[in-house]
Structures are given as structure tokens and as C-alpha cells.
Amino acid sequence: MELIQKYFPQLSTDQLEKLEKLSGLYKDWNLKINVVSRKDIDELYLRHVLHSLGIAKVQAFNPGAEILDVGTGGGFPGIPLAVLFPETKFHLVDSIGKKIKVVEEVSAGLNLQNVKITNARVEETGGHYDFIVSRAVAAMPTFVHWTKGKIAKRSNHDLKNGILYLKGGDLSEELQDYKTVSIYKLTDYYEEDFFETKKVVHLPLKFKG
């Protein structure tokens, strides 16, 4: 938790309490349904929570904004972001039922009122969103195809509506066809070695009505 406070010193008591609860909730549920590797559970705040919150370093979400988390897995990046932005609406989607079960239980354990959870493929869900967030569930062209038609028309943030994607490694080939893409290195915000190759990719997308 010291790690989180180091980079997010403005957190309220309620937010800190919720984030502190994450460790126990994930350790408990991971014994029943394995969604996080053992090594990652021991470094949950570095590898999952702080990594997820890297998106917030690039773009803070406004009250009332709608965010879609695709392939949320165990609830990342959606759960930590929902704690950080309690007035923003988050829709967490994953096609794997056992993972969604963990997300539901963790969300309930934290009493998150701003989270909606759906067990489905993203193509089967409706709605329009300011941003679509995810942690490297597919190559960008595939991800863009999956999320087609889900971006809201009106842009209310510093960054244009679109995808905010947590990715690592060399992205030059994967992103070569996207002329409007921006890449933010997480080493510009965090000093831990874990983030050396980690990035937030922003791809603006136009509304398709």
C-alpha cells in the first residue's frame, strides 16, 4: 500500500481502505478460483493495482464518464480504476465465467456502487463509452475489431474518446497502421523496474452511429 500512496498521495480514507482490502479478497478468492499467479499475488499492488492505475496517470476520468473494461480477467484494470474514480461508471466484461465470479465477489466485498459486471464476449454487449480500457488481451487490430461501434460521440476529456491499452514490449509493428496513436511510457510516472517496458497506448476512435 505504501507503493500506491507514493504515487497517489491524494487518496481518501475510504479509497485507501478499499485498496487495502484488495489483497485479502484476492488471496482468498485465488485459493478457490485461480485468476492471478502465485508470484503476482505476492506483488499484487505492484503488478496489478499500480499497473492498472497507470491509465489514470495518462487520463483522469470525469464524473459521469462511462468506461468499458474488456477482458477484465480478475478485475484489472477496472477494479482499481473504479476505486480511484468513484463517480465514473465502469462496465467490466469477460467471457470466462469463473473470472467474472471473482470480479463480482471482489466488487461486492469493496461495496463498489459504480461497477457493472457482464459475463459475455464484448461483441455481445451494447452501449457507448468514453474510453475502452484493457490489459493486452489481444493485438490492437483484433481489439479494435472487437470494440467497433462502442465509442461515445461526445468527447469530454483532455484525450479524445477511444482505447487506453496497457501493453508491453515493442509495439512498432502492431501499431504501424494507426497514425493517430500515442504511446505513454509508464517509466515517466513510475520508477520501479517492473514498468521498464510497460506503456499506455491511446488510440482515438470516432463515433459510428
Please, are residues 68 and 129 in contact by the beta-carbon 8 Å criterion? yes
Asked whether residue 71 is marked as a ligand-binding residue, the answer is yes
Alpha-carbon span 87 to 62, nearest angstrom: 8
CA 83 to the chain's CA centroid: 11
Cβ contact 152:139 at 8 Å: no
The response to whether 61 counts as a known ligand-binding position is no
3-class secondary-structure state, position 2: helix
Question: Is residue 200 marked as binding?
Answer: no
- The answer to the question of whether 123 is labelled as a binding residue is yes
* Phi-psi domain of 75 (left: phi exceeds 0; alpha: psi -120 through 50; beta: other): left
Binding residues: 71, 76, 122-123, 135
The binding site for S-adenosyl-L-methionine consists of: 71, 76, 122-123, 135
